[in-house]
């Protein structure tokens, strides 16, 4: 098992994927030029004391999704929880464009998009500003020599613990058994997170308010077992 205590605090963002993929359509280019700056938190300015004021709609809670991929989960949560403001972080352009398209098409004023590594954003957010956070199917880095690049470990959990409110919920998902074990080990060691599971079904099945993503559906079709973890910030 990798000792995440020794992992660098801010590893360079790396992934199996490319940050920029296929050529953009005219609409996609417009979204990146015109809409993206309007829905992006400005980390060059001091964060407001109340991050709910960043959103274009009145919100009562603020959630964070780290690595939203195709934005299916991000948009579903925004639709079903219009009183919640959700900050989505995704460094890959294809995912960012998908989120921007959904924001424009569905007029989702309760989404902000940070198109980069989440760690600078977490340092920028005021302490105790997040009510919920999601880390769903992060890059697995399966080779032993690369596991220190995995996102979920003590450094990230320390940042999340600072940014989250006591009683806030952290949800994690993965289809990689070894990653599930290292996630669980890091969280069980962390003094500011408590596992909510009381039976095996709690980590084998998603709750009803946790929609399936296309990546998860693909993993299940290919026979990989998914693990769903829920922790509370104490």
**Whole-angstrom distance, CA of residue 196 vs CA of residue 88:** 24
- Is-catalytic flag, 139? yes
114 neighbors 89 (Cβ within 8 angstroms):
yes
Task: Retrieve residue 207's tokens.
Answer: 């709750």
**Whole-angstrom distance, CA of residue 193 vs CA of residue 234:** 6
Task: Retrieve residue 173's tokens.
Answer: 């998902």
Instruction: Determine which one of 139, 158, 178, 202 is catalytic.
Output: 139
Active site residues: 139
């Amino acid at each position: 098992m990798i000792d995440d205590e020794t992992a660098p605090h801010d590893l360079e963002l790396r992934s199996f994927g490319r940050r920029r993929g296929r050529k953009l359509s005219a609409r996609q280019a417009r979204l990146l030029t015109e809409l993206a700056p309007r829905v992006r938190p400005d980390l060059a300015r001091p964060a407001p004391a109340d991050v709910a004021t960043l959103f274009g709609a009145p919100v009562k809670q603020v959630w964070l999704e780290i690595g939203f991929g195709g934005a299916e989960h991000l948009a579903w949560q925004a639709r079903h929880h219009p009183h919640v403001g959700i900050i989505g972080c995704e460094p890959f352009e294809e995912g960012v464009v998908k989120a921007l398209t959904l924001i424009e098409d569905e007029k989702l004023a309760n989404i902000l998009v940070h198109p980069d590594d989440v760690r600078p954003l977490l340092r920028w957010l005021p302490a105790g500003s997040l009510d919920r956070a999601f880390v769903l199917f992060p890059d697995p880095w399966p080779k032993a020599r690369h596991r220190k690049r995995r996102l979920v470990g003590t450094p990230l959990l320390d940042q999340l613990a600072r940014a989250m409110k006591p009683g806030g919920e952290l949800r994690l998902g993965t289809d990689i058994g070894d990653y599930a074990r290292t996630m669980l080990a890091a969280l069980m060691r962390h003094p500011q997170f408590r596992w909510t599971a009381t039976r095996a079904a709690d980590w084998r099945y998603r709750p009803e308010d946790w929609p399936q993503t296309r990546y998860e559906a693909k993993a299940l079709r290919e026979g990989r077992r998914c693990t769903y973890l829920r922790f509370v910030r104490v």
